[in-house]
A and B are shown apart, each in its own frame.
Chain A
Amino acid sequence: MIMVKQLQKKYGAVCAVQEASFSVPKGSISTLLGGNGSGKTTTLRCIVGLLAPSAGAIQIDGIDPWRKPAEARALLGYFPDRNGLYPRLTPREHWRYFAGLHGHSGKALESRIDSMVDTLGMANLANRPTLGFSAGERMLVALGRALIHAPQALILDEPSRGLDIENLRRLRQVLLRLKADGVAILMASHVLAEVDALSDQLIVMAHGKVRATGTPTQLKQDSGCTDLEQTYLALTGVQS
């Protein structure tokens, strides 16, 4: 579903991403694991078509997101690292707006919004302005926004940041449902417990390069470590 081949992104003389290659098949969860400044967000922005790759190729179901952004983004749901919610709008109004940007309207859209309210368990919050929402509630609104146009792939940048245990569990449930529905999920995350529990594939990044790709179990075995933290440190060369 998502194919990244020899991706390179430069900002002047600084190379943020170097020769990154990986793919995300349908019905799977892949995680970009890396420290701050490792190139995760830049990679995700290139995949969404917000940044132009300096070299390499990206395809979303065969579509180049930089050359045909509208077509590619119709297949993508995007959850950026900053929620970017409108404090005066309700969750329903957010979802209606973003579905409208994808060209959806009418009864089908309203039915979809009702379903989203049920799915995310937001019946009590759906008609309240998002000003004053907790981090978990804001995450749910942003997740609904990314899903409202029924995308085939979901890109999430640090979705679990600032979430409590209950909301982490809710996020995990939603992502597993999406995976079961055949959605290709690519996320960037720091929360190793989440990554270990959810990921079918780990893409370990450091200094803009992909250091290793594989299942969590594979990577642990290859590195000879028993837990993911040690595996990550070993693969990135931060600590032996």
Chain B
Amino acid sequence: MKHVAQVDVESFAKAKQASPSQRFHQWFIRVSAVFVKEWRDTWKDRRGTQSALMFALLGPVVVLMMLQSSIDTSRDETMPVVALLGGELWPNLSTQLSAKFDVQPEKSSTLALKNLLADKVDLVLTIPEHVDSYLKGGRTIVLDVAVKSARSESQKAASQLRALLQNFNDTAAQMRLVAHGASPTQMQVLSLNVAEHGPSARFQTLTQVMVIMLLMGAFFSGMNVAIDTTAGERERESLEVLLAQSTNPAPLWLGKYLVVLSFALIGGALTVALLWLGLSQLALYELPLKLNLSWNTWLQIWLAMLPFAALMSALQMVFALLARNYKEAQIYLTLLAFLPGILTLPFAAKLPEGLPIPVVQETLWLQTLLRGGELPCLPWCTLLAVVIAAVTALMFASARALRNERMLAAS
């Protein structure tokens, strides 16, 4: 057995004689040691890594499923299927119907009704054979509509058909009166001119859901790592020996924080990448929304999430540090996931534009970016500076707390 204290002591002990100019280098070594250890430890914990990145993977899937569902609903809404009997007798009405319905010309009324009962068509509309003579004679034409009462799609299609035929009837009636010498302006008592401004309500909801998924992807990816590196130290009973080393707690905290932030940013990047890939595969043109799908925009989206991830990672570290064990930390951080949104978002619209308020500003930027806007450079830099200042303050507050003997007594 070799001598324990004599082996390489001379060369090794030289490192202890660090001059003041080398102190920064020593600080860097300590932060690097913590970062490498925590990264390696977290990466080796496969279940932990999987659960850390689970939300980042599942969040986009949920959003994409919602969008696909909206597309399907949109398709259903716009194209009810109508079996049309005698369509060739009234080509004008057939053309009008084709604009709102998937018109399937039929010859046999028996077959059409069979298809209705088999849910192959939503309605059966029959134009009578005498339609031409009635039109010329100015008489009322009765159209037969067959509806399957037990089917909501059929009822819905019937309402749509009723509205369309009402419009068609009004126009035809006006034309008859014009043909008899009435003035078109006298018949038009009122007219609506509706202009749509801003995104539709559905689009707003979808973008808000996407924004929440993006931010939560970053939040939950760092959460488990934050707990493991802080409350986990207590649960493993490794906090005491860690605090007994010749290092200030600040580099210890910073090294751990950088690992939490790395996971948050990787999770955020995964969410962004999956959303980008998924959205490019969806038939978004069928929805009343215009999402910006260029890679440049999605890079800006990730950058917009950076201050949020930086601040939340630091807060997660502080909250988890106060917890006595893993479960307690999970409760604190789950509350933390919802608190910023609950506290800040109701006031977001009332706040003066451009104020560097974390969480609120990132939320607004993400919504703007999804609608085709740009990330403003100077406000982003300002917010990042505010967040870095806040993280630095949290680091020194945590380091102070770790120096307190109560921290050890609680473990």
A residues contacting B by CB (< 8 A) are 11, 45, 48-52, 69-74, 76, 78, 80, 82-89, 93, 96-105, 108-109, 111-112, 115-116, 118-119, 121, 129, 142, 145, 147, 149-150, 173-174, 177-178, 180-183
Q: Which residues of A contact B409 (CB under 8 A)?
A: 11
Which of A101, A111, A145, A182 contacts B8, CB < 8 Å?
A111
Which of B4, B33, B247 contacts A70, CB < 8 Å?
B247
Q: Is the CB of A105 within 8 A of B29?
A: yes
Q: Which residues of B contact A74 (CB under 8 A)?
A: 16, 246
Q: Mark B218-258, 1 if CB is under 8 A from A, else 0.
A: 00000000000000000011111111111110001000000
Q: How far is the CB of B116 from chain A (nearest CB, A)?
A: 65
A97 to B409, CA, bound (A): 24
Q: Is the CB of A88 within 8 A of B6?
A: no
Q: Which residues of A contact B7 (CB under 8 A)?
A: 112, 115-116, 119
A149 to B6, CA, bound (A): 11
Interface membership of B2, Cβ < 8 A: yes
Q: Which residues of A contact B13 (CB under 8 A)?
A: 150
Q: Is the CB of B247 within 8 A of A112?
A: no
A147 to B5, CA, bound (A): 8
Interface membership of B40, Cβ < 8 A: yes
Contact of A100 with B244 at beta-carbon distance under 8 Å, contacts A93-B40, A121-B1 already known: no
A238 to B45, CA, bound (A): 49
* 7 closest Cβ pairs, A-B complex: A100-B33, A84-B238, A181-B5, A73-B246, A115-B7, A74-B246, A82-B237
Q: Is the CB of B241 within 8 A of A78?
A: yes
Which of A98, A100, A178 contacts B4, CB < 8 Å?
A178
Q: Is the CB of B244 within 8 A of A105?
A: no
Contact of A101 with B405 at beta-carbon distance under 8 Å, contacts A108-B11, A108-B15 already known: no
Instruction: Give how many B residues have a beta carbon under 8 Å from the other chain's beta carbons.
Output: 46
Contact of A93 with B238 at beta-carbon distance under 8 Å, contacts A105-B29, A115-B8 already known: no
7 A-B pairs with C-beta separation under 8 A: A45-B240, A70-B248, A80-B244, A101-B34, A105-B29, A116-B7, A121-B1
Contact of A71 with B246 at beta-carbon distance under 8 Å, contacts A101-B252, A121-B1 already known: yes
Q: Which residues of B contact A178 (CB under 8 A)?
A: 4-5
Q: Is the CB of B30 within 8 A of A149?
A: no
Q: Is the CB of A181 within 8 A of B32?
A: no
Q: Mark B81-117, 1 if CB is under 8 A from A, else 0.
A: 0000000000000000000000000000000000000
A56 to B115, CA, bound (A): 97
Q: Is the CB of B12 within 8 A of A104?
A: yes
Q: Is the CB of B12 within 8 A of A129?
A: no
